[in-house]
Amino acid sequence: MNFSKTVLASAFLLLVAASPLAAQPDPSQWTARLHNALRLRPDQEQAWQVFQQASAPNAQEDARHRDAYERMGSLRAPQRMDLSIQLMRSDLQEMEQRNDALKAFYATLSPDQQAIFDRETLRPPQ
């Protein structure tokens, strides 16, 4: 994963992937454990699926970032800055979509489930 994609994912990782459950090397195992810990009701499953899809890595965006970083060496400083800003705007838009899915899913959770989600997705102190 390139540096910019890492920056983009960092906010999500702070919420989800850097949690105590994130010690699992396989993200699908981690999401399965979170899903089980939440004990979702059937009426919450659709929001969970939307949340998971919005949180999944985007191969097209990853490829676009790799391509942009490969081109950086051939660009002049102002062009590099313009490209970086363009990438950051795209990253922000993707993060906002993830945020919308997170909020929609979170709203379906009971207070007890929200507490579990908050605890399991909190980045441990460094």
Q: What is the predicted pLDDT for the residue at 123?
A: 72
Radius of gyration of the chain (CA): 17
Predicted local distance difference test score (pLDDT) of residue 56: 85
- Using alpha carbons, select from 52, 46, 44 the residue that is nearest to residue 109: 44
Whole-model pTM over 0.85: no
Look-up of token digits 């605890």: 119
Helix (H, G, I), strand (E, B) or coil at 45: helix
pLDDT in tens, 51-97: 999 988 888 888 999 999 899 999 999 999 999 999 999 999 999 99
**Position 116 pLDDT exceeds 80:** yes
15-51 pLDDT per residue, tens: 444 444 444 446 678 888 899 999 999 999 999 999 9
